[in-house]
Amino acid sequence: MEKLKKLTQIDIKKLLNSDLSSLKKQKKATIDLKPRIPLINKKVISLDIGTQNIKVIVGKCSRNKIIIENAFMFKSSAINSNEDSLKNITVLPKEIETFLINNNIKVKSANCTGNSTTIINREIIVPYASEDELETLVKFELQHYLPINMDDYIVQFSILEKIVVDGMDKLRILGIIYPIKLVKNYMLLLQNAKLKPNALDVNYNSIKKLILHGDITNEENAQETIAVIDMGAESLEADIYTNHNLEFTRMIKSGGKQIDIKIAQSFNMSIISAETEKIQQCDLMNYEKSEISSLIREEVEEWMGEIGRIIQFFKNKKVGNDISKIFIHGGSSRLKGLEEYMEAKFNTPVKHIDNLNNVVFNKDVNSEEIDHYLNAIGAIIRV
């Protein structure tokens, strides 16, 4: 109870506000729609809480570079696919504390990122107004569409663009509704791991900051519309960005673990053995070479069907909504032949993210595994 009392004294909205809103304190006449990414130089631990692995980065921003001093990940016995898995505030914090000690990490300030189907995002149109007025307008509009108690959520929003509707100035806005319960669970998790909660992020916002920072895309194609797909163990997250702004995000409840389960069931082996066979036998461009390879291809085809529907839905929203490039990352993005297979499927260039333009790694850090850590790296950036 004492820890929960302390949590109520922390300004949860302030913890989220610097990331989930791109708005500045400005008057109505000077609302700036151009994104900015000032960097704060402070060494932190950044944790990406996944459904299977915990990814840990230690680093800081320095002179428009992100300096990574340490990076590692581990599987937790406390992690599962249940949305309430963060209720386990005894096993996971102890594991985090142990791994930090074993890696000789003494930093205590911690940023945390993750995702959940309980986080809601909606695109809305509201009248052009000052930021103070916008907050009220956005909450009112979101409440109109969502049958939820807004007192249980933190509402943040970012401006996508200024438009004119029936001769009136309007703003197209992406609203993000974050459950206070989930925020408290994350904060309690960090505190029980003997860390100081510094900031909380969501994965698609972490990736947005890497785009703003110039890490994922080059300056010459910064105005294009791109899709960034995080391929994890139990979910695929497809995020679409235009001119640095998050336009659209959807989560698919499937991932690499589903393939492991299918292989284990079909060939009577353990999940661990199935994962090994998946890695060794997968070849999406030569899938007939083995039964396991064919099974993997069948599962991936289902992924592509879901991703294809998301892309088509985005294209149907407005004339001219075309995606110029697809970026993939995460453990399941390493399936052999996946880039080529996706390019043929969507007739769009696909790149597996294996480097970042403005990230510098300590010589002891394995930079070849960078795709596992994108969310955690992006969460280091504070605005």
- State how far the Cα of 73 lies from the Cα of 373, in Å rounded to an integer: 9
Range in 60-64, 232-236, 248-252 with the lowest mean pLDDT: 60-64
Residues near 338 by beta carbon (within 8 Å), at least 6 away in sequence:
284, 300, 328, 350, 352
Q: What is the pLDDT of residue 19?
A: 57
Closest CA to 242 of 172, 195, 147: 172
Residue % of the chain over a pLDDT of 70: 85
Please give the pLDDT value at position 273: 96
Tally of CA atoms within 13 A in the half-sphere of 287 that contains its CB:
15
- Binned at pLDDT 50, 70 and 90, residue 309 comes out as very high
For residue 383, the model assigns a pLDDT of 67
Most confident of 40-44, 106-110, 120-124: 106-110
Sequence-ordered list of residues with C-beta below 8 angstroms from that of 280, at least 6 positions apart, any chain? none
Domain 2-216+353-378 has CATH 3.30.420.380: yes
Among residues of the chain, what percentage have pLDDT more than 90? 48
What phi and psi, each to the nearest 5 degrees, are found at residue 337?
A: 85, 5
Q: Check pLDDT > 60 for residue 27.
A: no
Same fold, 2-216+353-378 and 252-352: yes
Q: Is the pLDDT of residue 335 over 90?
A: yes
Q: What pLDDT is recorded for position 89?
A: 66
Q: Is residue 207 predicted with pLDDT exceeding 70?
A: yes
pTM: 0.85
**Which comes out higher in pLDDT, residue 107 or 161?**
107
Q: Is the pLDDT of residue 68 over 90?
A: yes
Q: What is the CATH number of domain 252-352?
A: 3.30.420.40
pLDDT at 131 over 70: yes
The per-residue pLDDT for 28 is 33
Q: What's the CA gap between 205 and 18, in Å, rounded?
A: 11
- pLDDT at residue 260, as a whole number: 96
Please give the DSSP secondary-structure letter assigned to residue 372. Answer: G
Domain ranges of the chain: 2-216+353-378, 252-352
Mean pLDDT of 286-307: 92
Q: Are 361 and 68 in contact (CB under 8 A)?
A: yes
Cα 112 to Cα 380: distance, rounded to the nearest angstrom: 9
Whole-number pLDDT of residue 25: 34
Which residues are paired to 49 by β-bridges? 54
* Average pLDDT of span 125-150: 87
The pLDDT of residue 5:
47
The rounded distance, in Å, linking the Cα atoms of 158 and 16 is: 13
Residue 295 pLDDT > 90: yes
